[in-house]
Amino acid sequence: MPTPEEHLAAADPRMAQLIARSLRYNVKPVGVARAFDALAESIAYQQLSGKAAATIWKRVRALYSKRKFLDPQLVLDTPEETLRAAGLSRSKVAALKDLAAKTIDGTVPTARHLARMSDEEIIARLTMVRGIGTWTAQMLLLFDLGRPDVWPHTDYGVRKGFAKTFGRRKLPTPKQLLRLGEKWRPYRSVAAWYFWRALDQITPNRLDGQLPAGRKSSKRKGADREVRPSLSRAASP
């Protein structure tokens, strides 16, 4: 059975060239994916640079420093002014509290339920939370759950990486990229990874696990933000 890279390379020689010169796809699913923690962090990072968001998120986590994982009830009970003092905007506080409430009432699935749900079912549930759109849900599927066939066709970085790889002067529209992505099933997550990598300056076949300065590994701790080019974060939905 061919590897994901072999499957993608066979689809187009330009894809094969991109894979050959890029850091290998190394996303591994988190042992126990806690959607609440991952989405809370994503909310804190929305519309901010990595450094500024990291500082704010560190302050938020410090409010619950004795806990490895966030407790939705504690977050829900935290006064708004306390979260605002940590650096969260009013809208982000509202989104975080809505996330907590919907985690408590079961709208946001537990790790056990996530494992049994389809990608589409997970996206439908998560996007019921204030401030969580399809793109954010897709990042959780791709980086936290390690789902192999997630296609973030609205992501600016994926669109730009595609255009660069295939020598196109104009970026494909999300609708066009959705259609074009059909050829990379069932490994569209891997294809997205390599289109992000097309925007990096990486030594060919570099396998030491290092990413360019300012990027973190694909493991949790902000993987959906930093493993990709920063421009993709800024312009994504």
pLDDT value for 184: 97
- Of the pLDDT bands very low, low, confident and very high (cuts 50, 70, 90), residue 7 is very high
CB 158 within 8 A of CB 192: yes
| 216 vs 96, residue with greater confidence | 96
Q: Would you say residue 205 has pLDDT above 50?
A: no
Average pLDDT, the chain: 86
**Residue 158 class from Cβ within 10 Å (0-12 exposed, 13-18 middle, 19+ buried)?**
buried
C-alpha to C-alpha distance for 138 and 118, rounded to whole angstroms: 12
Please tell me the predicted confidence (pLDDT) of residue 70. Answer: 94
| Cβ burial, residue 218 (10 Å; 0-12/13-18/19+) | buried
Confidence of residue 200 (pLDDT cuts 50, 70, 90): confident
What mean pLDDT comes out for the span 3-13?
Answer: 96
N-to-C CA span, the chain: 35
Query: Distances from the Cα of 199 to the Cαs of 63, 74, 103, 174, 176, in angstroms?
Result: 37, 40, 36, 18, 20
Q: How far is CA 31 from CA 75, 115, 150, 230, in A?
A: 23, 11, 19, 26
pLDDT digits (tens, 9 = 90+) for 107-131: 999 999 999 999 999 999 999 999 9
Q: Where are the alpha helices (DSSP H) in the chain?
A: 4-11, 13-20, 35-45, 50-62, 72-77, 80-85, 90-104, 111-116, 119-126, 134-139, 156-165, 174-180, 188-197, 223-226, 230-235
pLDDT tens digit string along 131-174? 999 999 999 999 999 999 999 999 999 999 999 999 999 999 99
DSSP of 84-103 = HHTT--HHHHHHHHHHHHHH
* pLDDT tens string 62-110: 999 888 899 999 999 999 999 999 999 999 999 999 999 999 999 999 9
- Provide the pLDDT for residue 77: 97
Q: Is the pLDDT of residue 213 over 90?
A: no
Do the two domains 4-28+152-235 and 35-144 of this chain adopt the same fold?
Answer: no
Task: Record the tokens describing residue 142, joined without a space.
Answer: 């791709």
Percentage of residues of the chain with pLDDT beyond 90: 77
pLDDT in tens, 23-60: 999 998 877 778 999 999 999 999 998 899 999 999 99
Hey, what are 20's tokens?
């050959």
pLDDT at 114: 94
Pull the structure tokens for residue 87: 């650096």
Residue 201's pLDDT band (cuts 50, 70, 90): low
Task: Kindly list the domain boundaries of the chain, sorted by start residue.
Answer: 4-28+152-235, 35-144
Report residue 68 as tokens.
């490895």
Give me the CATH topology for the region 4-28+152-235. Endonuclease Iii, domain 2 (1.10.1670)
Choosing among 1.10.340.30, 3.10.129.10, 2.60.40.10, 3.40.1190.10, the CATH entry for 35-144 is 1.10.340.30
Give the amino acid at 8.
L
What residues are labeled active site? 155
